[in-house]
Amino acid sequence: MKVVHCLITLLSCLTLLFVACSRPQTRPVISLTDKLNSLFAGVPDFSGVLLIAEKGKPLYKRAFGYTNFDTKEPNTTSSIFELASVSKQFTAMTIMMLKQDGKLAYDDLIETYIPGLPYPGITIRHLLNHTSGLPDYQAIMDEHWDKSKVAGNVDNIAYLIQYHPPKLFDPGAKYEYSDTGYMLLASIAEKASGQDFVDFCRTRIFDPVHMTHTAIRTRDEKINLPGMAWGHLFVPEKKRYVRADSFPQFNYAIWLGNRKGPGRVSSTVDDLLKWDRALYTDRLVSRQTLNEAFTPAILNDGSLSHYGFGWVLEQSDKAGKVVRHSGENPGYRTQLIRYIDADKTIILLCNNEHEKLPPILKTVELLVTETD
């Protein structure tokens, strides 16, 4: 009987062992939050804010680093950053609004609104999608402008007329990114609307979308603004981050400080998410008008560019249609990425121009597109 009992016990143990071994081994599930926290743990000196949302609901929102590396005041998720060229989508929106209001047309020649500009044959559409062939206004200003003064659009346009640098190519021949084009768009918006561009953006875009921390601010306004995250650059000799506006070579951000159109919007991740949500509605313009912003330009040879009206256009195998824009100012790197079909959003604002930002962003995009 003891032998039988032992055999039965052994058989039971073997059965349990077989069942245990035959079960599929489940790996521990690592959340998106844990993955992102692990990613940023590897770059402890990164400074900025990351927000990831799906259908408008934040999946991840976290601040890193400092608004000011000297005072060690920490960034928060409400910190305000210069958006740099991410501002261009707001400039494009002003033009779309005015087109919808019947106050201009995309194929209007720009000299209709800016008399004396010596570049014939360029339309508003060419400015919107960076196919104008216009020269760089900043280069002319850098060569001739008295940098003890602060220049605005009127000054920039006057110098383009006075010095008349040659065009780069015929309008519509190719895509070439142009800050000049978006500077002119802001002036065209003022002419067509009869309203200052800063006020137009506030009353027609920022206020209706309840972007309460977003504005086109002067330097003095930013200096006195609580929560302003200042751009920083790493100085190897000092082994620390230093305010970017302390470097003479970056003073153009100061003496071109009254320019309108290509940059100068400052905002928070929460306000940019409100902007993202508004673009899924007809709150600002109709869906039909908005779709034009996400349509590539047709070049003279019939080929398509990868740029719409203030947005870079992409197609993702995993997430479908993607519209995005980056921004670069001294010390700042910004990204707004909208996966339109998947309704996911990445907003990354950085104020220390971190050298590892490209691989960080690539990893963030990979994690977001893989998350169901």
Cα–Cα distance, 203 to 277 (Å, whole number): 18
Neighbours of 16 (CB within 10 A): 10
Is there a catalytic annotation at residue 326? no
Instruction: Catalytic residue, from 85, 87, 132, 305: name it.
Output: 85
C-alpha separations of 187 from 5, 97, 204, 211, 216 in Å: 95, 15, 16, 23, 15
Amino acid (one-letter) located at 265: V
Q: Could you tell me if 345 and 53 are in contact, meaning their C-beta atoms sit under 8 angstroms apart?
A: yes
Q: Show the 3-state SS of 171-194.
A: CCCCCCCCHHHHHHHHHHHHHHHC
The backbone torsions φ and ψ at residue 305, rounded to the nearest 5 degrees and listed phi first, read: -90, -175
Cα–Cα distance, 146 to 259 (Å, whole number): 15
**328: burial class by Cβ within 10 Å (0-12, 13-18, 19+)?**
middle
- Among candidates 256, 273, 247, 280, which has minimal Cα distance to 348? 273
Residue that is written with structure tokens 């799906």 in the block: 54
**320: burial class by Cβ within 10 Å (0-12, 13-18, 19+)?**
middle
Cα–Cα distance, 174 to 238 (Å, whole number): 44
Cα–Cα distance, 229 to 67 (Å, whole number): 4
Cα–Cα distance, 47 to 284 (Å, whole number): 33
Q: Could you tell me if 208 and 283 are in contact, meaning their C-beta atoms sit under 8 angstroms apart?
A: yes
- The three-state secondary structure class of 50 is strand
Q: Active-site residue numbers?
A: 85
